Amino acid sequence: KVAFIMDLLKRDKLDKNTIVVFLGDHGRAMPRGKQWPYDSGLHIPLIIYWPQGNADLPAPAHYERGQKSEQLISSIDLSATSLAVAGITKPEKMQGQVFLGAQAEPPREYLFGGRDRGDETVFHIRTVRDKQYRYLRNKYPERPFLQINRYKEKSYPIIGLLRDLHSRGELTGPPLKLMAETRPEEELYDLKQDPWETNNLADSPDYQKVKQRLASALDHWMEEIDDKGRIPEDPAIPEFWDERAIRVYSENLKNRPKDWFLKDAALGPYKVESKKDE
């Protein structure tokens, strides 16, 4: 598809006048991937192609073909950078930062993210990372990591497999931690030493200064963007969401194609039969 798009640009004589950006939207559809504010869910590929041979569109001074950058960039920076490259000053209230061209701003020190309600599940998570550490804050630690989510239960075979292995006492290590009934209020990971974020350092005396620094940066960001998650939530609201989600998903999942539901022996007691077998 990439070659197809590039060929179209060349055919239409736009290849010398088009900056091409390739990026992902989220991590893989796996536990702790898509929808989750860990690196496995938030760290996505970003490739920028700058055309050659156009004096009216010179590459930025620090742009080099084949170069790999360790600069922290957020997806929201693409809109601000696109405006700048087109010679347009970004709006004052725009959160994105310009990272290429004459209007480039100082590199980010931190990246921020979060997760709230998604599909049938209720979470409230905020996170911040720098070049080495990621800090997460869980507002509802009493809600387990693998809350029932029928869309994912029927889409991701790995979830049913995890539940089956756990019921037989065959899970160990990090996969076993995913099955815990609660989650820690705070998480801290050294991304250089622990890229899969399995060793939580939040309670380690050796990392309290790091945790405090990141927590302070997160608080500042939440205040700066007026994050409504800072407002205490009535306990009845998550309960209402649970009830509503069950009702809505029960109805909507009936409309899926007959063979959409998974049927796999690996899912054990959690396998979902095809509708044609009902």
Q: What is the pLDDT along the chain (278 residues), one digit of tens a residue?
A: 889 999 999 999 999 999 999 999 898 888 888 889 999 999 999 999 999 888 888 898 888 888 999 999 999 999 999 999 999 999 999 999 999 988 999 999 999 999 998 888 889 999 999 999 999 999 999 999 988 777 777 778 888 888 889 999 999 999 999 999 999 999 999 999 999 999 999 999 999 999 999 999 999 999 999 999 888 888 888 888 888 877 777 777 676 665 544 444 444 444 444 444 44
Neighbours of 134 (CB within 10 A): 23
Q: Which pLDDT value is given to residue 268?
A: 41
> Which is it for strands 46-49 and 20-23: parallel, antiparallel or unpaired?
antiparallel
Q: Which pLDDT value is given to residue 243?
A: 81
Q: Which pLDDT value is given to residue 119?
A: 80
- Assign 177 to helix, strand or coil: helix
Could you please report the per-residue DSSP string of 19-87?
Answer: -EEEE-SS--SSTTSTT-SSHHHH---EEEE--SS-TTSPPPTT--TT--------TTHHHHHHHHHTT
Closest to 191 in 3D by CA, of 134, 136, 135: 134
Task: Compute the radius of gyration of the chain from its Cα atoms.
Answer: 22
Closest to 142 in 3D by CA, of 128, 156, 124: 124
Q: Where are the domains of the chain?
A: 1-71+73-107
Distance CA 153, CA 271 (A): 9
Q: Which pLDDT value is given to residue 257?
A: 60
Q: Which pLDDT value is given to residue 31?
A: 86
Q: Six-digit token pair at 15?
A: 């290849």
> Which is it for strands 186-190 and 133-138: parallel, antiparallel or unpaired?
antiparallel
Q: Which pLDDT value is given to residue 196?
A: 95
Q: Which pLDDT value is given to residue 180?
A: 93
Q: Which pLDDT value is given to residue 206?
A: 98
